[in-house]
A and B are shown apart, each in its own frame.
Chain A
Amino acid sequence: MKKLSARRRHPLAAVVVLLLALAATGGLYAAFAPAGKAQADDSAQSLTIQEGKKLYEVGCASCHGTGGQGSSDGPSLVGVGAAAVDFQVGTGRMPAATSQGAQVPRKKVVYNQTQIDQLAAYIASLGAGPNVPTKDQYGPGGADIAKGGELFRTNCAQCHNFTGKGGALTKGKFAPTLEGVDPKHIYEAMQTGPQNMPSFPDTTLSSKNKKDIIAYLHAVDSSDTTNPGGLELGGLGPVSEGLFAWIFGLGALIAVAVWVAARTAKAKKS
């Protein structure tokens, strides 16, 4: 250490540091950069892409352009990856209605999973992007629920509420509820950042972190969640609690008061 600090003011120190930094960045890039080589053109894969392209031309091209390059009605899909397609089409958000409101809502799914996979394969072939996660990436095995809760409160709760009930954004946009959303789709949403949501690629939120968040959501916001205190009242906090206290609490007590006051002792027998 002492040796190092003695030499850090050497005239050549800056050059050495620069060289080291360059070597490190270059090396890291070489190690992590997506492989440039073309996908092996095995026949099953290209067949899927072919099928996907057909589906795309019928269902998507009018807005996203014939080659996925986008148009005034829809963004470019080059490089969004298979995960984005699986999320958007798999939750029914795509295909969107021609006149959508402030935000494309979740709705009935139009394509089956095979068709979605074909579409995803086609879009993925247009440019590299995140892949559809595998079951062991979003499955419950090895997840830390408490850690997931902490991450959720830090990164997600400001829009999606403490336990993922959703919340309002500006001008009619909203963060949807996360109850009943397929873990795979939650994972993909984090990865790709659909609509107003920021994306959380693995560099900011590791695959393990995503798994933790999904496990936390399953614990607090799913059909398996137990509410030790009784009715959840929407899980929206004091507004719904206050409404409940006024209507059912005070309402019941006033009804009781009316009942008690109506039953008075008779002063005289009539």
Chain B
Amino acid sequence: MSTAANETPRSRGKAPAGERIADWADGRLGIYSLAKSNMRKIFPDHWSFMLGEVCMYSFIIIILTGVYLTLFFHPSMNEVEYHGSYVPLQGQLMSEAFSSTLHISFDVRGGLLMRQIHHWAALIFLAGMFVHMMRVFFTGAFRKPREINWLFGFLLFVLGMFTGFTGYSLPDDLLSGTGVRFMEGAILSVPIVGTYLSFFLFGGQFPGHDFVARFYSIHILLLPGIMLGLMVGHLILVFYHKHTQFAGPGKSNKNVVGMPLLPVYMAKAGGFFFLVFGVIAAIAAVAQINPIWAMGPYRPDQVSTGAQPDWYMGFSEGLIRFMPGWEINFWGHTLVLGVFIPLVIFPLVLVAIAVYPFIESWVTGDKREHHILDRPRNAPTRTGLGVAWMTLYLTLLVGGGNDLWATHFHLSINAVTWFVRIAFFVGPVIAFLVTKRICLGLQRRDRDKVLHGRETGIIKRLPHGEFIEVHEPLSQEQLHTLTAHHQYEPAEIGPTVDENGVERKVPASEKLRVKLSSAYYGEDNQIPKPTVDEYKEITSGHGHH
């Protein structure tokens, strides 16, 4: 291909510069075929499909500003005396990490803005990932063939949490130092190996002289490196699977309706990047974040009230704050259950959402590919479980900020803590039941709309005096959209005797599956969508409702 491209232009004079550059590159990289197959890739249009883009762009912004910060940050715990331009810390002893962060904030051109963009973008990155993950969850976009990509995304979220944690711990200020101490306490609570792990991580007694340097290489190299790889993999899989779309006329499980990557989405996505950058930069220019100078350098003997982690770690703070301070003595060893139990629940909260796609596919037994998204109402049990999980998460966030709830709403902190303790168990159950009822109600409404049409708000009086509301039939497009979803039948236990008439032992897992399946799809757990016959029957007559 490249040889042909090199020969043809000669006869017709010089080709335009752009074409020659493209030829030159193709001769060495072979990008024509790659571009040809991907440039016309179709993407559907929906605002919620851009949440992932928000994450990607904020991640890029974080990397760019992070590189700038590394040029001036000293990841060292050597003790120095501060003599920079921030007066209220003059002459104070602090680590070099802290003093170099002050230097970045006050004496490096653009340093404070870069720090603030970096930190705000990190908060928004994690928030974006959370919302993106919830979008994927509630629309069922995690179903086959996208389970692996769901896990990639989940790992990105978890790694993002820890990258954030190691990042905000780097300045070695009093707030983040308290957070690191918190982590040390959690590690120490692990039976038998806790002390060893802590000594291993901190290179001896807390805080030691190593942790900033160690966190630094984890924060700028190890975790972001893995995340970058995962993100590329995530995108490759999005390309490979093609994007999901909502049901609608002309949209099927076998096509994607939308706009091509080039030129439409290149322009849109490129523009969107600058919009994201602009919004984050504007926020960073207006609102202060993590003012380490106000917190002062870390000293293990000092602590402040209102010491919370960044929001994405807030649920771990909540777990610790609402847990009673239980402690038992086991064979001469103290087991700090008040810390160890939260440490065990912490990963479980996350894993619960990660494994959900596999549980659902096991219950449905569905091996087909799904490229059409569910409307959340059409999967009431899944939606209920998702809202229950979010309720749990939010309850823990409330618990993490219990002191601020107490001071700002004039409540007793003990009352807030007790509320969280109860809500931790009760809240998700209530949320599940309520959400499921709402979903079923909405399904009934859809059914009603399909069969009886849209309420027009026009009241008509019949000759004999009766008042009726005129209902307008839906268009074919709307009817399709409202009835396109697939409804599962609840699974049943297979024949209990085999082909020879011998009684078969039904495994417990099968019984469980059948039970769950009927909880998902049984009677009362989904509203049967209108059938063609029902529709015909009701629309053939001259009835108006």
Contacts and interface: CB of A to CB of B under 8 A. Distances in A.
B412 A220 contact: no
Contacts of B272: 256-257, 260
A238 B311 contact: yes
Nearest to B313: A238
B461 interface: no
A235 B304 CA distance: 12
Nearest to A261: B47
Given A231-B286, A253-B128, A260 B92 contact: no
A166 B106 CA distance: 27
A145 B413 contact: no
B404 interface: yes
B304 A157 contact: yes
Given A149-B88, A257-B272, A261-B45, A227 B291 contact: yes
Nearest to A156: B304
Contacts of B301: 154
B123 A241 contact: yes
A229 B291 contact: yes
A233 B288 CA distance: 7
Contacts of B285: 230
Contacts of B112: 228-229
A260 B291 contact: no
Contacts of B307: 237
Given A231-B287, A232-B288, A249-B120, A146 B91 contact: yes
Interface string A204-248: 000000000000100110000001111111011111111111101
Q: Does more than half of chain A's interface fall in helix, strand or loop, or is it mixed?
A: helix
A157 B285 CA distance: 28
Nearest to B314: A242
B261 interface: no
Contacts of A246: 127, 311
Interface stretch (B181-189, B273-281, B420-428, B529-537): B273-281
Contacts of A239: 306, 308, 311, 314, 400-401, 404
Nearest to B283: A249
Contacts of A262: 47
Interface in A152-188: 153-154, 157-163, 165-172, 174-175
A254 interface: yes
A250 interface: yes
A162 B308 CA distance: 12
A19 interface: no
B255 interface: no
Given A150-B296, A241-B123, A159 B305 contact: yes
Contacts of A245: 120, 123-124, 127, 283, 311
Contacts of B350: none
Contact of A230 (B91, B288, B310, B414): B288
Contact of B406 (A150, A158, A172, A227): A172
A12 interface: no
Q: Does more than half of chain B's interface fall in helix, strand or loop, or is it mixed?
A: helix
A258 interface: yes
Contact of A249 (B92, B280, B306): B280
A83 B319 CA distance: 43
Contacts of A17: none
Contacts of A13: none
B46 interface: yes
B470 to A, nearest CB: 28
Contacts of B275: 253, 256, 260
Interface residues of A, number: 61
A257 B51 contact: yes
B411 A238 contact: no
B54 interface: yes
A165 B259 contact: no
Contacts of A162: 174-175, 294-296, 304, 306
A170 B403 CA distance: 9
A233 B50 contact: no
A197 to B, nearest CB: 13
A38 interface: no
Given A233-B288, A249-B279, A250-B127, A157 B310 contact: no
A246 B48 CA distance: 16
A102 interface: yes
A261 B287 contact: no
A265 interface: yes
A22 interface: no
A264 interface: yes
Contacts of B160: none
Given A158-B305, A249-B279, A256-B275, A230 B286 contact: yes
Interface in B31-47: 45-47
6 contacts: A157-B304, A161-B306, A240-B404, A242-B123, A248-B283, A257-B272
Interface of B: 45-51, 53-54, 87-92, 105-106, 112, 116, 120, 123-124, 127-128, 131, 174-175, 259, 264, 268, 271-272, 275-276, 279-280, 283, 285-291, 294-296, 299, 301-311, 314, 400-404, 406-407, 410-415
Given A242-B310, A256-B272, A258-B47, 17 more contacts: A153-B296, A153-B304, A163-B294, A171-B413, A230-B287, A230-B288, A231-B288, A238-B175, A238-B311, A242-B311, A248-B283, A250-B131, A252-B283, A254-B131, A260-B272, A261-B45, A262-B47
- 5 closest residue pairs by CB, A with B: A242-B311, A229-B288, A167-B305, A245-B123, A172-B412
